[in-house]
């Protein structure tokens, strides 16, 4: 494919012929795939009878889209890509100095996040900032924190955990129940929720010590479901599917965010608005997320963090170097779970309402997807992945203009998972190790160098 | 002679119902290089792993410095300063050379890390050149050096080497054997070596054992074994061409 640049006329027509052939094939495959899904639709008529609607035109659209897409792919996109690759290969390797932006990415990002609420208020006003700070800011940061927490278990220690949402649930219910039964404040219960989640992390850790990979994944998946089912069925305490509502809000050094005389707005002489509380929550979750990142970075340089990474690489070698793999695994589970618990109690305080609905397997899957897409172990990559994935789904809600194209019944957020899945496939094809596939070494004698991920196969660390 | 550093007595190890070791007696004294040779499936690696507690011996005993280690978990055996370069090297592929060495020093919490790294780099200068490179990108020989270097970082009293010559070019094997010899002569390091490369191993060793079907059939000084017609017939003729 290297000489595509010098395509002759005959080669060109050959390419077109091949593209046509492949277009027909993909059209047939699409037809076969979708004839039952799209072409036929079972429905009920007025008399409650089952009838089959035939939607041949819609099916035809699917098939045509697939055929045209394949044709364009083979005839134009692939030669173009190959040509670009050839040009790139021919060009001499230039040692590229990292730009200022990429060198200081994390500092710039933190600064941007700290400045985010004031900037949004300046742009949209206090009331208009609500949506941007809450839906985008807080929502994304919760997932950033969860993914960073899970990253300790999956990214560093290499223990595939499909039930991470269980610890999120433990944290959320710890705060919700302890505050409504005993009236304890958020700041007291935050560490308590973290501790309880960490305990459950150890409880999960013990039976799965001997398991790895797929087997571990299955057991953790089951654990997540067990926690959810307990929450649903233990109705005397958790109120089952009704959930716990009216959860107390967090306070800032005892200052409440409400309409009372000594509330935040009155004290500051500001007009009453729920936006202040949201901004407070934004900084709270930002602080919690940064704490997670800070702890992760520090732990990686400490014996236990190094042991986690070594454990991910080779358990047997670890043992023969005198590392107690039992405690190493348990600390990984406990630490990861603790941050899940923090995030959970934050979630409860933000929503003011928790129910088992919020802690379904899909949440675990989304968090894990963010970790994998970001590049296991890389905090920056995970942050970017969370912004893209969660921000992307939030943006879908905003795309109301699509209703003009697809009709008033079109709700873009229903296509969330479809786009989510597509995005994952695309990222995994182009960047199989995630957005940031390199890992920062923790040992240096003199200079530090990033270690590229591209030299080893996927699955090898 | 004083009490042996490592004393393996009548060890039997099973994989399920299959007996891999059938009453093995091996002694390693301080300052010695002892090699264990044998064919594929004779139980060499099993003995190595049994010393390290995984799998544990069903009967018999293993003593290290007079302490019974037969039932200790692997990591506690390692903490008694027995270091191992396992079969297949088992370095950490995604971690850099330096990080791999760091893992080896984790027993003492890196107290003498810098000093020991310099020692390893003097022994294997190639590792110094490659210190910032990922373990997985090293060549086989370099990985073997790293594996031995990592074991040395724990300041072991006894170094177990499981087939250090596996899959390596003869010149590199010689380099590694020379390094082992040097460690033994200069630092007085005790080495227990498991090898298929019988000629190289016996030449290097003070004493040797021959393992056949999970049983020690012959033992003696390295020289004697090299000269022994049975050993020559079974392990050396043909092996040297």
ipTM: 0.86
**Segments of chain B assigned to CATH 3.40.50.300:** 1-81+157-241
Examine residue A380 and state whether it is found in any structural domain, yes or no: no
- Tens digits of per-residue pLDDT, B107-164? 877 778 888 899 999 999 989 989 888 998 998 889 999 999 999 998 899 999 998 8
Query: Which CATH code for domain B1-81+157-241?
Result: 3.40.50.300
Q: In this complex, do A455 and B136 lie within 8 Å of one another by their Cβ atoms?
A: yes
Same-domain check for residues A143 and A77: no
What pLDDT, on a 0 to 100 scale, did the predictor assign at position A356?
93
- Closest alpha carbon to B101 in A304, A310, A298: A310
Examine residue A287 and state whether it is found in any structural domain, yes or no: yes
A444 touches chain B (CB under 8 A): yes
Q: Check if the beta carbon of residue A202 is closer than 8 Å to that of residue A373.
A: no
Query: B228: distance to nearest CA of chain A, Å?
Result: 35
Mean per-residue pLDDT, B178-196: 91
Q: In this complex, do B84 and A320 lie within 8 Å of one another by their Cβ atoms?
A: yes
Examine residue A435 and state whether it is found in any structural domain, yes or no: no
Contacts by residues A234-238 (CB-CB < 8 Å, ≥ 24 positions apart): A237/A177, A238/A173, A238/A177, A238/A356
What pLDDT, on a 0 to 100 scale, did the predictor assign at position A458?
45
Domain termination site, one of A364, A397, A427: A364
Q: What are phi and psi of B207, to 5 degrees?
A: -135, 165
In the three-class reduction of DSSP (H, G, I as helix; E, B as strand; rest coil), residue B75 is classed as helix
User: Which range (A89-98, A145-154, B93-102, B186-195) has the least confidence?
Assistant: A89-98
Examine residue A118 and state whether it is found in any structural domain, yes or no: yes
Same-domain check for residues A40 and A133: no
What pLDDT, on a 0 to 100 scale, did the predictor assign at position A393?
83
One-letter-per-residue 3-state SS of A42-109: EEECCCCCEEEEECHHHHHHHHHHHHHHHHHHHHHHHHHHHHHHHHHHHCCCCCCCCCHHHHCHHHHH
> With 0-12 CB in 10 A as exposed, 13-18 as middle and 19+ as buried, what is A430?
exposed
What pLDDT, on a 0 to 100 scale, did the predictor assign at position A460?
42
In a mutational test of the A interface, the residue from B52, B94, B117 whose CB has the highest number of chain A CBs within 10 Å is: B94
Query: A436: distance to nearest CA of chain B, Å?
Result: 14
Examine residue A219 and state whether it is found in any structural domain, yes or no: yes
Domain termination site, one of A364, A389, A416: A364
The fraction of chain B above a pLDDT of 90, given in percent, is: 39
Residues of A in Cβ contact (< 8 Å) with B132: 441, 444, 447, 449, 451
Q: Check if the beta carbon of residue A275 is closer than 8 Å to that of residue A130.
A: yes
Which residue range(s) make up the domain with A45?
A: 2-90
Examine residue A382 and state whether it is found in any structural domain, yes or no: no
Same-domain check for residues A59 and A191: no
Same-domain check for residues A8 and A150: no
Same-domain check for residues A65 and A146: no
Token representation of residue A243: 């959930």
What pLDDT, on a 0 to 100 scale, did the predictor assign at position A263?
74
User: B55: cis peptide before it, omega within 30°?
Assistant: yes
Report the alpha-carbon distance of residue B33 to residue B202 in Å, rounded.
9
In a mutational test of the A interface, the residue from B69, B99, B117, B161 whose CB has the highest number of chain A CBs within 10 Å is: B99
Residues of B in Cβ contact (< 8 Å) with A458: none
Residue from the list A310, A318, A443 with its beta carbon closest to the beta carbon of B98: A443
Q: In this complex, do B103 and A316 lie within 8 Å of one another by their Cβ atoms?
A: no
Q: What are the residues facing A284 on neighbouring strands?
A: none
Residues of B in Cβ contact (< 8 Å) with A309: 92, 94-95, 99
Q: Check if the beta carbon of residue B35 is closer than 8 Å to that of residue B201.
A: yes
Question: Where residue B239 falls among pLDDT bands split at 50, 70, 90?
Answer: very low
Same-domain check for residues A299 and A151: yes
Report the alpha-carbon distance of residue A170 to residue A347 in Å, rounded.
11
Low-confidence ranges of chain A (pLDDT < 50): 1-7, 447-449, 453-461
A445 touches chain B (CB under 8 A): yes
What pLDDT, on a 0 to 100 scale, did the predictor assign at position A92?
64
What pLDDT, on a 0 to 100 scale, did the predictor assign at position A175?
94
- Residue B232 clears pLDDT 60, i.e. is over it: yes
Report the alpha-carbon distance of residue A2 to residue A91 in Å, rounded.
13
Same-domain check for residues A199 and A279: yes
- Tens digits of per-residue pLDDT, B52-76? 988 888 999 999 998 999 999 999 9
Residues of B in Cβ contact (< 8 Å) with A442: 99, 102
Same-domain check for residues A47 and A128: no
Q: Check if the beta carbon of residue B62 is closer than 8 Å to that of residue B47.
A: no
- Residue B191 clears pLDDT 90, i.e. is over it: yes
- Closest alpha carbon to A200 in A334, A291, A68: A334
Question: Where residue B240 falls among pLDDT bands split at 50, 70, 90?
Answer: very low
Report the alpha-carbon distance of residue A60 to residue A32 in Å, rounded.
12
- Indicate the helix (H) or strand (E) that contains B68: strand B67-68
Please give the model's pTM, rounded to 2 decimal places: 0.81
Same-domain check for residues A77 and A133: no
Put simply, the chain A residues between 32 and 61 with a CB less than 8 A from any chain B CB are none
Rg (CA), chain B: 17
Q: What is the domain count for chain A?
A: 2
What pLDDT, on a 0 to 100 scale, did the predictor assign at position A105?
82
Report the alpha-carbon distance of residue A71 to residue B164 in Å, rounded.
55
Same-domain check for residues A360 and A290: yes
Q: In this complex, do A314 and B137 lie within 8 Å of one another by their Cβ atoms?
A: no
Residues of B in Cβ contact (< 8 Å) with A455: 134, 136-137
Same-domain check for residues A194 and A294: yes
Residues of A in Cβ contact (< 8 Å) with B79: 322
Same-domain check for residues A124 and A64: no
Report the alpha-carbon distance of residue B73 to residue A208 in Å, rounded.
18
Residues of A in Cβ contact (< 8 Å) with B78: 319-322
């Amino acid at each position: 494919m290297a000489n595509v640049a010098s395509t002759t006329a005959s080669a060109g027509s050959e390419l077109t012929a091949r593209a046509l052939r492949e277009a027909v094939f993909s059209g047939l495959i699409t037809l076969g795939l979708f004839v039952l899904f799209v072409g036929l639709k079972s429905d009920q008529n007025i008399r409650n009878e089952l009838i089959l609607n035939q939607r041949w035109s819609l099916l035809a659209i699917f098939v045509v889209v697939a055929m045209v897409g394949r044709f364009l792919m083979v005839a134009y996109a692939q030669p173009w890509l190959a040509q670009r690759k050839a040009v790139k290969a021919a060009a001499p390797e230039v040692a590229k100095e990292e730009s200022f932006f990429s060198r200081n990415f994390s500092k710039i990002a933190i600064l941007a996040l700290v400045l985010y609420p004031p900037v949004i208020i300046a742009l949209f006003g206090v009331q208009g900032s609500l949506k941007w700070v809450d839906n985008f800011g807080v929502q994304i940061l919760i997932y950033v924190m969860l993914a960073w927490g899970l990253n300790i278990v999956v990214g560093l220690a290499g223990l595939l955990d499909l039930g991470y949402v269980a610890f999120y649930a433990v944290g959320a219910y710890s705060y919700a129940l302890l505050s409504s039964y005993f009236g304890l404040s958020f700041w007291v219960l935050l560490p308590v929720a973290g501790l309880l989640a960490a305990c459950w992390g150890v409880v999960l850790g013990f039976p799965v010590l001997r398991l790895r990979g797929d087997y571990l994944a299955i057991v953790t998946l089951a654990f997540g479901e067990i926690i959810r089912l307990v929450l649903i069925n233990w109705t005397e305490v958790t109120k089952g599917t009704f959930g716990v509502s009216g959860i107390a809000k967090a306070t800032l050094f005892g200052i409440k965010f409400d309409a009372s005389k000594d509330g935040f707005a009155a004290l500051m002489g500001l007009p009453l608005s729920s936006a202040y509380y949201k901004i407070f929550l934004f900084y709270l979750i930002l602080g919690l997320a940064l704490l997670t990142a800070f702890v992760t970075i520090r732990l990686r340089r400490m014996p236990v963090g190094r042991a986690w990474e070594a454990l991910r690489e080779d358990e047997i070698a670890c043992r023969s170097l005198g590392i107690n793999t039992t405690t190493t695994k348990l600390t990984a589970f406990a630490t990861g779970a603790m941050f899940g618990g923090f995030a959970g109690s934050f979630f409860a305080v933000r929503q003011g309402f928790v129910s088992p609905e919020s802690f379904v397997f899909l949440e675990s899957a989304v968090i894990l997807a963010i970790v994998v897409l970001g590049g296991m172990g890389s905090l920056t990559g995970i942050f970017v992945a969370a912004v893209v994935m969660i921000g992307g789904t939030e943006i879908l809600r905003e795309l109301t203009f699509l209703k003009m194209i697809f009709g008033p019944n079109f709700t873009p957020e229903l296509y969330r998972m479809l786009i989510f899945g597509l995005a994952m496939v695309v990222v995994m094809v182009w960047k199989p190790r995630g957005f940031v596939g390199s890992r920062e070494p923790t040992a240096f004698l003199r200079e530090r160098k990033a270690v590229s991920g591209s030299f080893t196969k996927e699955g090898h660390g | 002679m004083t009490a042996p550093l490592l004393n393996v007595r009548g060890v039997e190890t099973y994989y399920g119902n299959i007996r891999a070791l059938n009453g093995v007696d091996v002694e390693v004294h301080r300052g010695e290089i002892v090699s264990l040779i044998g064919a594929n499936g004779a139980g060499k690696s099993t003995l190595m792993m049994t010393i390290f507690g995984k799998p544990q011996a069903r009967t018999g005993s293993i003593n290290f410095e007079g302490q019974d280690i037969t039932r200790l978990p692997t990591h506690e055996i390692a903490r008694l300063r027995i270091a191992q370069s396992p079969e297949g090297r088992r370095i950490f592929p995604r971690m850099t050379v330096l990080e791999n060495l760091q893992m080896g020093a984790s027993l003492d919490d890196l107290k003498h890390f810098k000093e020991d790294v310099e020692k390893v780099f003097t022994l294997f200068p190639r590792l110094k050149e490659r210190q910032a490179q990922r373990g997985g990108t090293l060549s086989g020989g370099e990985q073997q050096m790293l594996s031995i270097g990592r074991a040395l970082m724990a300041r072991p009293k006894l170094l177990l080497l499981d087939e250090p010559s596996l899959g390596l070019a003869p010149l590199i094997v010689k380099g590694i054997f020379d390094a082992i010899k040097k460690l033994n002569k200069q630092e007085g390091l005790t080495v227990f070596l498991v090898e298929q490369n019988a000629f190289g191993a016996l030449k290097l060793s003070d004493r040797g054992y021959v393992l056949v079907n999970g049983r020690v059939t012959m033992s003696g000084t390295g020289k004697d074994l090299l000269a022994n017609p049975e050993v020559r017939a079974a392990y050396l003729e043909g092996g040297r061409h």
